[in-house]
Amino acid sequence: MDSDDRKLLEATDFFAALGAEAINRLTLSASVQAVPKGAVLFLQGDRPEFVHLVLSGRVSLGAEDAHGHSTIVEIFREGQLFILAAAILSKPYLMTARSLTDSRVLMVPAERFNAMLDTEPHFSRVLVDVLAGHWRLLVRQIKDLKLRSAGERLGVYLLMKIDARSGTAALRLDEDLNVIAARLGMTPESLSRAFGSLRAHGVRSQGRQVTIDDIAKLRAQVRFDELDE
């Protein structure tokens, strides 16, 4: 790990929570891999050999079925650990990890990771919070899939990208529309139509550039509630 990577690592929440000393022990035998856009880090069904942490870039976790349909369950960005569960439980990955951008990924051998889990009290404590947060992410997504329409899911997705609760907003989406569609559980065509349907509610878009005329109105329209914050 060079000093730039070290700096990236030191900027993470995980580093702050765990402390420099424990991080040093954790990363003794870790390596950093530069991953080009589109590369696969591991495949669903693989046995986990490493725990991954995104130092820079973004990584998607997705799945494909036998008939070539694919979806994205979650996207992790710089500073985040992802799919810990497989490594912790020593069970095959349920998802495939793919780099969405040129990225740098810290790879900690699962063996060492699990050893620290067993020997360092504070380490487990930090992971409990991380896992609890990830769990809530997925619960929210399941609620969205089961209770909201495609248009509403897009609206919620946009609203989660901005902080303000009212007024206007302009944002540039940082994923391909392609990727966003997969994340939201719809086809690219449906995403395009979902943008179309939101146009009536003050959402204009050209490509990835989006403006929202009235945030409060959009929140009401897609039934964005306090639990979505």
Q: Which is nearer to a copy of itself, 7 or 47 (CB)?
A: 47
Cα–Cα dist 194/190, whole Å: 6
| Phi, psi (deg, nearest 5) at residue 77 | -120, -175
Helix (H, G, I), strand (E, B) or coil at 117: helix
Which of 134, 155, 219, 221 binds a copy of itself (CB under 8 A)? It is 134
* 176: Cβ contacts below 8 Å, ≥ 6 apart: 100
Sign (positive or negative) of CA dihedral 216, 218, 224, 229: negative
Which of 1, 131, 171, 177 binds a copy of itself (CB under 8 A)? It is 131
Q: Does 21 bind a copy of itself (CB under 8 A)?
A: no
Q: Which is nearer to a copy of itself, 34 or 130 (CB)?
A: 130
Cα–Cα dist 169/39, whole Å: 33
The piece of 20-28, 80-88, 124-132, 206-214 that touches DNA (CB under 7 A) is 206-214
Q: From the CB of 13, what's the least distance to a copy of itself, in Å?
A: 13
Identify the H or E element spanning 109: strand 103-109
Q: Interaction with a copy of itself in 52-71: which residues (CB under 8 A)?
A: 63, 65-66, 69, 71
For residues 69-101, one letter each, b for 16 or more C-beta atoms within 10 angstroms of the residue's C-beta and e for the rest, the string is eebbbbbbebbbbbbbebbbeeeebebbbbbbe
Which of 16, 138, 160, 216 binds a copy of itself (CB under 8 A)? It is 138
Which of 107, 150, 162, 171 binds DNA (CB under 7 A)? It is 150
Q: Does 187 bind DNA (CB under 7 A)?
A: yes
List of residues contacting DNA (CB under 7 A): 69, 149-151, 176-178, 185-196, 205-208
